[in-house]
Amino acid sequence: MTVAELIEALQECDPDEQCYVRINGNFLEIDDVYGVADANYYVIDAYEE
């Protein structure tokens, strides 16, 4: 999965529902996404299902 594909998958997630993505064959539940102040990156909490 490319970064662009990950961003697209995350944008399709409903913030009030569970969100799942498949990365390199691993099915992951996205728990939370944090923006880092004054930086151009995000931290994604994900758990393998």
pLDDT tens for the chain, 49 residues long, are 788 888 888 888 877 788 888 888 888 888 877 777 777 777 777 778 6
pLDDT at 7: 80
Give the strands of the sheet with 42-48, arranged side by side: 19-23, 26-35, 42-48
Q: Which residues pair with 47 in a beta bridge?
A: 29
Compute the distance between CA of residue 18 and CA of residue 41 in angstroms, rounded to an integer.
22
pLDDT at 11: 81
End-to-end CA distance of the chain: 17
